[in-house]
Amino acid sequence: MKINKKEEIKKRTLDFFEKACIVLTEKEKENLEIADFGLNEIEKSGLQIVTYVNNNRYCAKEMVLLPGQTCPEHRHPSRGQNPGKRETFRCRYGKVYLYTEGEKTKNPRVSPPQGDEEHYNVFHEIILKPGEQYTLEPNTRHWFQAGTNGAVVSEFSSPSDDASDIFTDPRIKRVPENEQQN
């Protein structure tokens, strides 16, 4: 991703944190992760993340989804003695459409990103509005998308190891924000 695009996304992300009344330190703002999953379509498929803490016992993050932005379908598998990440999403601002395993919702409110539909297989819809939360068990396939006004979501989980996440789309690479892509 080009530097000017990163700066634009960072500014928009910080605006969303402000709308949600989430105060960040200067260090947290500097360490903001902009994940485009190696697809170079940040407005369509991506996620902006501030990680407060991630240790061998627990993890806490804030995530911003731009309007209509999707975090692609993935799961958090077991790793050795670790059963996989169990995570709770709590909506702080906007609306987030979470799709997970379970009975398919007949008329889902949103769709996977255009052109990427073949990489989305779970369609049990959970709609989260500010103050609402949902917990995902380890190794559960899921994806989520912001509504038309974007979304801010707090994540509380067992330890996070993003590198071990398994994405349905084989093109996805969990690339650190500081790696330059063209």
pLDDT digits (tens, 9 = 90+) for 124-142: 999 999 999 999 999 999 9
Amino acid identity of residue 93, one-letter, is Y
Locus of tokens 């996304």: 9
Domain that holds residue 65: 3-167
Condensed to tens digits (0 to 9), the pLDDT of residues 145-181 reads 999 999 999 999 999 998 899 999 999 988 554 444 4
Q: What pLDDT shows up at residue 177?
A: 42
If you write DSSP's letter for every residue of 89-115 in order, what string do you get?
EEEEEEEEEEEESSSPPSS-SS-PPTT
Residue 181 has a pLDDT of 43
Residue 24 domain-assigned (yes or no): yes
CATH code for position 122: 2.60.120.10
Is 178 within the bounds of a domain? Answer: no
Higher pLDDT, 178 or 44: 44
The total number of structural domains in the chain stands at 1
Per-residue burial over 26-64, b if 16 or more Cβ lie within 10 Å, else e, is: eeeeeebbbbbbbbebbbbbbbbbbbeeeeeeebebbbb
Which residue is associated with the tokens 């330190």?
Answer: 25
pLDDT of residue 175: 56
Rg, Å, the chain Cα set: 15
Tens of pLDDT, residue by residue over 58-112, are 999 999 999 999 999 999 999 888 899 999 999 999 999 999 999 999 999 999 9
pLDDT of residue 182: 40
Identify whether 60 is part of a domain. yes
Indicate whether 92 belongs to any domain: yes
pLDDT value, residue 19: 97
Question: Is residue 74 domain-resident?
Answer: yes
Which is more confident, 163 or 14? 14
pTM over 0.85: yes
